[in-house]
Amino acid sequence: MNRKDYIRSILPSVGSPKEDLVEVFAPINIALIKYWGKKDRELMLPYNSSLSVTLKNLGTKTKLCLSDKDMLSINSQIVDEDSEKFNKVFQFLHLICGDDVKFRVDTENNIPIASGLASSASAFASFVLAVNALFGFNLTPEDCAKIARIGSVSAGRSLHPGFVLMNHENDSAVTNVLSKFNDFCVGFCIVSEEEKKYKSRDNMDYTVSSSVFYESWLQITKRDLQEIYPLIENGDFYQVGKIAERNALSMHASIAMLNEEDRFYLKSESLRIIKKVQTLRDNGLPVFCTVDAGPNVKLLFQYKDIASVASAFPEMNFYEKVV
Ligand code: PMV
């Protein structure tokens, strides 16, 4: 099946818009068990399952309306219609709504974009919410997630709150993971706001084809998911943090094994913060970290420890209590 048929199997017809202008918001999500590598690039199906936590206030606000021609602005800057970004956004919107419809899209992100802070997840999730509202499709969150996944795999997880599982054995459907947590926080240490040289999509394809560690990554991440799932249900912060941190470092190890310096996302400042997390933890502060496709480090901690974490990490630019 190609992606067009896949979208039509979820959304058989488009019809005419029900609203003139819509404004929606979708949050980013941070994977505790990462997805890294696609087995089907057409349908954006990952090789492995992933488990994330969706934020509340950090993400992408999108305004969408019909227009005479396609127009895109990101953070109030008009995006060049020959750019890769422009093409990616409109290929996605036309795939859902057909080639004849033209849109004006204005997005605002309250996080740095393309620096491994999951802004593509919130952007594509917001596009699906926006067309759903504009045309009155009444899609379920599960169907929205399937469509968002075609834009960016991790976007599928941003359409559910709290802890979210994307199951690669079940059409990569997403479901909520019920949890006893009520004070789980994610903090952000921005090491660099520069757009990364290798986007996650290129780098993961290259890792699948070229990393001697890729098979091991798949085994590790399967084990990590099996172990973390009941710990999230039980709200066991220490063990969840431990597994999340080792999962992220394993993903970066699979990239490091490529032995191509430019493809490795962690900078010396990222490594310094990771080391500091580990040292502070050895000294009794329950803090862990995770890192995505960029150098920025996310801290995982409990709200009860916010004062200690904030004073130990002047590097933390902002944080959210996510559940
Ligand atoms: O969904 P993408 O193509 O932006 O890739 C996301 C990859 C990671 O953020 C590194 C891991 C994840 O599961 O979110």
Mean pLDDT in each 10-residue stretch from start to end of the chain (323 residues)? 96 94 97 97 97 96 98 97 96 97 96 73 97 97 96 96 95 94 96 87 95 96 98 98 98 94 95 98 98 96 98 96 95
pLDDT reported for residue 141: 95
Given a contact cutoff of 8 angstroms between Cβ atoms, the answer to whether 155 and 121 are in contact is yes
pTM tops 0.85, yes or no:
yes
CA–centroid distance, residue 218 to ligand 1 (Å): 15
Phi (first) and psi of residue 26, to 5 degrees: -130, 135
Residues with CB under 6 A from ligand 1: 31, 34-35, 50, 118, 120-121, 152-154, 200-201, 292-293
pLDDT reported for residue 114: 61
pLDDT reported for residue 113: 72
- Best residue among 200, 247, 249 to mutate for probing ligand 1, ranked by most atoms within 8 Å of CB: 200
Q: Please give the Cα distance from 104 to 34 (Å, whole number).
A: 33
pLDDT reported for residue 116: 66
91 Cβ neighbours under 8 A, 6+ residues apart: none
Given a contact cutoff of 8 angstroms between Cβ atoms, the answer to whether 300 and 290 are in contact is yes
Residue 154 CA, closest ligand 1 atom number: 1
Q: How far is CA 12 from CA 9, 15, 43, 93, in A?
A: 6, 10, 17, 15
Residue 116 CA, closest ligand 1 atom number: 9
Q: Please give the Cα distance from 256 to 278 (Å, whole number).
A: 20
Q: Rounded to an integer, what is the distance from CA 315 to the centroid of its chain?
A: 22
pLDDT reported for residue 117: 73
pLDDT reported for residue 197: 87
CA–centroid distance, residue 146 to ligand 1 (Å): 15
Q: Please give the Cα distance from 96 to 252 (Å, whole number).
A: 34
